[in-house]
Amino acid sequence: MRIVTRGADLRALSRRARQSGMTVGFVPTMGYLHDGHLALIRRARSEHHRLAVSVFVNPLQFGPKEDFARYPRDEVRDVRLCRDAGCDWFFLPRVRSLYPPGFRTTVAPGPLADLWEGTARPGHFRGVTTVVLKLLNLVEPDTLYLGQKDIQQARIVQGMVRDLDLSTRVTVCPTVRERDGLALSSRNAYLSPAERARATGMIRAMREGRALVRSGTHDARAILSLVRQTLRREARPDAVDYLALVDPTTLEPINRLDRAGGFLIAAIRIGKTRLIDNLFLKPPVRRAGSQ
């Protein structure tokens, strides 16, 4: 594995590989890697000749009162994990490299960025789309791999790739969870043992909603009412930033599930830690003639 710190060097490596007929997969991360990241890396490794992984804690996507300074970091461990997973190019740029003095241009991510996470974290997705576009221009990958846990981010990046005519494909991979269901996240490290136990109530509440759908309820109000009650009982969140049932593509709220299904999305705060998660809900297919 080669550790690369200069964007020009990474672009040269990628271009040489593609000129030789090889394909390139890319997994962008903010580091402090966990099994969710490694699942993306293994998927990309299995589908491409060459694999690039970036580790960059992007200051542009953090608000002034957010956790940029204390965001968990462990570059030595990240290097080891990527090497063991078969990464070819480990990209470790510095802030001044991606955002040199005089940097002013950013990407306007569109109206989806004003919903949900965008309401709770103004400017967040402008930072995300800006850094992802810069990384795609440096890596020039065939495929970009993102996780479903950040479904709004994935949909916004898919929209940017489509709208700006980028040639990269975007593959969204399933959320990876702990045995108790908690979605893997670098921010889970902030949770105390007692808070960690409460956090699992989030997915338990969502699964209650999924069970209700499977029993035949398609009305969003009824589904959200049950999930909200279970969430309050099981997770005892200090705050609920949002809880909604949304269209799987546009992420706009829906009143009723149809055959396309929808995402149950939520963001809660437990102590000082903010957690997000989602679960795809789809009504069961009824066989012809069934009641």
Q: Is 32 annotated as a binding residue?
A: yes
276 neighbors 251 (Cβ within 8 angstroms):
no
Asked if 79 contacts 3 with a C-beta cutoff of 8 angstroms, the reply is: yes
Query: Amino acid letter at 273?
Result: T
Quick check: 238 and 232 in contact, CB under 8 A?
Answer: no
Q: In angstroms, rounded to a whole number, what is the distance separating the alpha carbons of residues 9 and 4?
A: 7
Place of tokens 């462990």: 74
- Annotated binding residue 148: yes
How far apart CA 158 and CA 142 sit, in angstroms, is: 14
Asked if residue 25 belongs to a known ligand binding site, the reply is no
Q: Which strands form 273-281's sheet, in the order they lie side by side?
A: 239-246, 262-270, 273-281
Compute the distance between CA of residue 202 and CA of residue 215 in angstroms, rounded to an integer. 20
Q: Is 19 among the annotated ligand-binding positions?
A: no
Query: 37, 48, 124, 218: which one is catalytic?
Result: 37
According to the annotation, is 212 in a ligand binding site? no
Q: Does the annotation flag 37 for ligand binding? A: yes
- Residue 37 is among the residues annotated as catalytic for this protein: yes
7 annotated ligand-binding residue: no
Residue 147 marked in a binding site: yes
Q: How is residue 12 written in tokens?
A: 């040269």
| Residue 284, both tokens | 């069961």
Is 152 one of the annotated binding-site residues?
Answer: no
E-strand spans in 63-195?
Answer: 89-91, 143-147, 169-173
Any known ligand binding at 227?
Answer: no
Annotated binding site for beta-alanine: 61
Annotated binding site for ATP: 30-37, 147-150, 176, 184-187
Query: Residues within the annotated binding site?
Result: 30-37, 61, 147-150, 153, 176, 184-187
Annotated binding-site members for (R)-pantoate: 61, 153
- Positions marked active-site: 37
